[in-house]
Amino acid sequence: MNFRLVKFRTFALGLACLSFAQAGLHGAGLSDREQRWLRAAERHERAGWIYLHVEGGPRERGFQHGYLLARDIAECLRVVRAHWRYDSSMEWSWLIAHTKGFIEPGIDSENRAELQGIAEGMSAAGFPTTYDEIVTYNAELEIELYWWPLAAKKLTDNIDVVKKPKQSCSSFIATGRMTKDGGIVLGHNTMGDYVEAVANVVIDIKPDQGHRILMQTQPGWIHSGTDFFITDAGLVGSETTIGGFKHFSEKGVPEFVRMRRATQDAASIDQWCAIMKNGNNGGYANAWLLGDINTGEIARLELGLKYIGFERTNDGFFIGSNIAEDPHILRLETDTRDDDIRLSDVARRVRWKQLMKENAGKIDLELGEKMEGDCYDTCLNKESPDSRTLSGHFELEPESTAPGGGDVPFHPNGTFDAKVVDSRMAKAMSFAARWGSADGSSFDAPAFLAAHPQFDWMEGYLKSRPAEPWVEFKAGEGP
């Protein structure tokens, strides 16, 4: 008997059982192949984040993802269904039925297999779902924020029926003379509805084909969605949504499909952009901030529907605050006012320019973390965490007029994460991250709902978030 082999198999089985226990699951009823798949995966938690490692072929990766995050995905689906029903009055099953006809055909075979694997993994873990539901869930951002406003007009004469706030993020990328060591520094925070900030994932994807990816995502998504990633090709990237954008085509390729293909397949900025532009459907229209640590070059790709903006440099910076910089996209595809500093996107754009000017030649990881947590309001000209600060707090705003807050006072919307990476970390496939408000403040859901009973529908869905520290994640790390 090969005792070394027995010892290895015992160790591997122990790791698999540990992962099952961490996920609140057990391995009973799994086939030998499924257990073998799971032994290659890893799940653990730290500082509010879930770290997930998956590897192998697409169905294998999907099964690992769906099984080890089954409980988390199920909770996200529970919240998403309720949020969708509240915002639209329609059932989640209605959304699946009315969108799969134009979403599913645009999914390539590899992404399709991974999505199927997620559904299979969840079901094997005791949380049954379907492939169609996982597809709709992955396409949620572009369906709810871009397709639904146009579809809703066909159901009513009230053309203003849909005013769902869009995600509002704050991001920068700098290189050359702007940074302390001349390399690339990228920072990003996500601002969105707190009710959907259920669980956040750092996923390490090691595919059989294509580039390894370390990215932030949500349980059950094959793309980033919150959009912060690094790859072993030396690419880093983030995005901020283009505010006031109201266009969508059912004939294109879903954004979540293009994002995943670009990130896994591209070896350069040009290749990444080409994949994103091919079949562009206007869904989840973003300004993408990209960097190549091999060359020190950075770029900004703005994808409208009819118009595209692109800039690149080896010595400078790009910022994102939800305003299109390309004049054609800004004037012809959005209804954004770019000079009203009462608005969140305008005030944050002004603040980014101030910080870039003040910190030219000094930007590093530590400064990037501070800037993502900045709470200076350029409309009020003082420190005041609110809807207009880079670390957004719409829930503190009594008279919100900001895109992303939906013009609703005290809307529970704002920053719920922050991430920073530089060239050194990217080469090691790692980045720094903070879960919760980028400025380190906490959010008490019961206290908020007691103070603002107009949001009582969120009871049972809205989660508290304690203050968390900055932590570092790395591809291939263990528990």
| pLDDT tens by residue, 346-373 | 999 999 999 999 999 999 999 999 999 9
168 pLDDT band, cuts 50/70/90, is confident
pLDDT(31) > 50? yes
CA angle 55, 285, 437 (to 5 degrees): 70
- In terms of phi and psi (left: phi > 0; alpha: psi -120 to 50; beta: otherwise), the region of 316 is left
- The chain-wide mean pLDDT, for the chain, equals 92
Which tokens go with 281? 């459907």
- Rounded CA-CA distance 203/35 in Å is 20
Q: Which pLDDT score is estimated for 264?
A: 98
Q: Which pLDDT score is estimated for 19?
A: 61
Contact 362, 370 (CB under 8 A): no
Q: Which pLDDT score is estimated for 182?
A: 98
Whole-Å CA distances, 341 to 191, 337, 394, 397:
18, 9, 15, 15
For residue 4, the surrounding DSSP H or E stretch is: helix 3-22
Q: In the predicted model, what is the mean pLDDT of residues 68-73?
A: 98
- Rounded CA-CA distance 356/178 in Å is 8
399 pLDDT band, cuts 50/70/90, is confident
* The residue count for the chain: 479
Q: Between 367 and 18, where is the model more confident? A: 367
Which tokens go with 278? 């091919």
The one-character DSSP state at 326 is S
Contact 175, 184 (CB under 8 A): yes
Highest CATH level, class, for 3-152: mainly alpha
pLDDT tens track for 275-314: 999 999 999 999 999 999 999 999 999 999 999 999 999 9
Q: Between 367 and 343, where is the model more confident? A: 367
Instruction: Give which of 145, 160, 164 is closest to 281, Cα–Cα.
Output: 145
5 pLDDT band, cuts 50/70/90, is very low
Strands 200-207 and 49-56, sheet pairing: parallel
Low-confidence winner among 108-112, 158-162, 165-169 (lowest mean pLDDT): 158-162
pLDDT tens track for 320-334: 999 999 999 999 999
- Rounded CA-CA distance 173/185 in Å is 6
Amino acid letter, 223: H
Domain layout of the chain by residue ranges: 3-152, 170-474
16 pLDDT band, cuts 50/70/90, is low
Considering only CA atoms, give the Rg of the chain. 21
pLDDT tens track for 425-454: 999 999 999 999 999 999 999 999 999 999
Q: Which pLDDT score is estimated for 167?
A: 58
Contact 421, 202 (CB under 8 A): no
Does domain 170-474 correspond to CATH entry 3.40.50.1820? no
- Rounded CA-CA distance 346/359 in Å is 20
- Rounded CA-CA distance 147/361 in Å is 43
Q: What percent of the chain has pLDDT over 70?
A: 90
Give long-range contacts, CB 8 A cutoff, 24+ apart: 335-341: 335/244, 335/246, 336/243, 336/244, 336/403, 341/378, 341/379, 341/388
Q: Which pLDDT score is estimated for 25?
A: 67
Q: Which pLDDT score is estimated for 337?
A: 87
Q: In the predicted model, what is the mean pLDDT of residues 54-78?
A: 98
pLDDT(21) > 80? no
Q: In the predicted model, what is the mean pLDDT of residues 176-189?
A: 98
Half-sphere exposure in the Cβ direction for 312 (13 Å, CA): 11
Q: Which pLDDT score is estimated for 408?
A: 83
